[in-house]
Amino acid sequence: MTQDELKDAVAAAAIDEVRPMLGRDIVIGVGTGSTANCFIDRLAELRGDFRGAVASSEASAQRLKGHGIDVYELNEVGTMPVYVDGADEVNAHLQMIKGGGAALTREKIVAACCKTFICIADASKRVERLGDFPLPIEVIPMARSYVARELVKLGADPVYREGVVTDNGNQIIDCYGLDIDDPVALETRINAIVGVVTNGLFAARPADILLIGGADGISRHL
């Protein structure tokens, strides 16, 4: 199977997880990226079975609307049963690096409002140790250089992702070379730097269910 076929297969598996949670009053959280797009496309089949979705990006909101799925503002809905999203890396503890698509802040907010986080990924995203993928950090634009200097003190090699503006009007720094020994501690430490909006470590609140699409089929991890 190609990587795209694996993404679609794992999205189909996520639909099977989500289907029993749906109902006419149910709003679900939907993530961002190419794997999440596969999920959105398959979610279209269930359009009449649930109320709608909260999207973690403008791009996902547009894709959902394109399928005739109602999109709600997060402030309009309460706690949602489930959030489905991809990841750039995921470890055995279901901790992730996310934000390759620059949507990390909204992803973390929407995930925080959902009872169950289902991470969907092809097998290339599964890692022993987080950190080969550069850690994305969303920063307030005026703080970018300051935050970068603070990140150097943590041992990172920060690189400004030029030309990218997040849905929140902010900028992204990608951190190379970080030694992510303790993901929860590093997530907390980076968030404490003034000017950081969010960092792409999803460790304090990892996924609850991980669906991996590989050569041998779909594996489910808790």
- Cβ atoms 84, 38 nearer than 8 A: no
Applying CB under 6 A, the span of 32-40, 70-78, 142-150, 161-169 interacting with ligand 5RP comes to 32-40
Applying CB under 6 A, the span of 13-21, 43-51, 102-110, 203-211 interacting with ligand 5RP comes to 102-110
C-alpha dihedral sign at 77, 83, 89, 95: positive
Contact residue for ligand 5RP among 101, 158, 183, 213 (CB under 6 A): 101
Alpha helix positions (H), 138-220 = 144-153, 183-191
Determine if residue 34 is labeled as part of a ligand binding site.
yes
Contact residue for ligand 5RP among 52, 99, 183, 206 (CB under 6 A): 99
Determine if residue 219 is labeled as part of a ligand binding site.
no
List the catalytic residue out of 5, 73, 107, 162.
107
- Cβ atoms 180, 201 nearer than 8 A: yes
Q: Is 206 in the site for ligand 5RP (CB under 6 A)?
A: no
Q: Is 53 in the site for ligand 5RP (CB under 6 A)?
A: no
- Cβ atoms 93, 206 nearer than 8 A: yes
Applying CB under 6 A, the span of 27-35, 39-47, 65-73, 164-172 interacting with ligand 5RP comes to 27-35
Query: In this complex, which beta carbon is closest to ligand 5RP, that of residue 51 or of residue 123?
Result: 123
Q: What gap in Å lies between CA 192 and CA 37, rounded to an integer?
A: 32
Q: For ligand 5RP, how many residues bind (rule: CB under 6 A)? A: 17
Contact residue for ligand 5RP among 63, 98, 144, 161 (CB under 6 A): 98
Determine if residue 60 is labeled as part of a ligand binding site.
no
Q: Is 34 in the site for ligand 5RP (CB under 6 A)?
A: yes
Contact residue for ligand 5RP among 14, 18, 27, 31 (CB under 6 A): 31
**Exposed, middle or buried: residue 72 (CB in 10 Å: 0-12, 13-18, 19+)?**
middle
Q: Is 32 in the site for ligand 5RP (CB under 6 A)?
A: yes
Determine if residue 153 is labeled as part of a ligand binding site.
no
Residues in the chain: 222
- Work out whether strand 96-97 and strand 201-202 pair parallel, antiparallel, or are unpaired: antiparallel
Q: What gap in Å lies between CA 185 and CA 55, rounded to an integer?
A: 28
Contact residue for ligand 5RP among 29, 86, 158, 206 (CB under 6 A): 86
Is there a catalytic annotation at residue 107?
A: yes
Backbone angles phi and psi of 149, in degrees to 5: -65, -40
Sheet holding 157-160, edge to edge: 157-160, 171-176, 135-139, 196-199
Residues near ligand 5RP (CB under 6 A) are 31-35, 85-88, 98-104, 107
- Just list the catalytic residues: 107
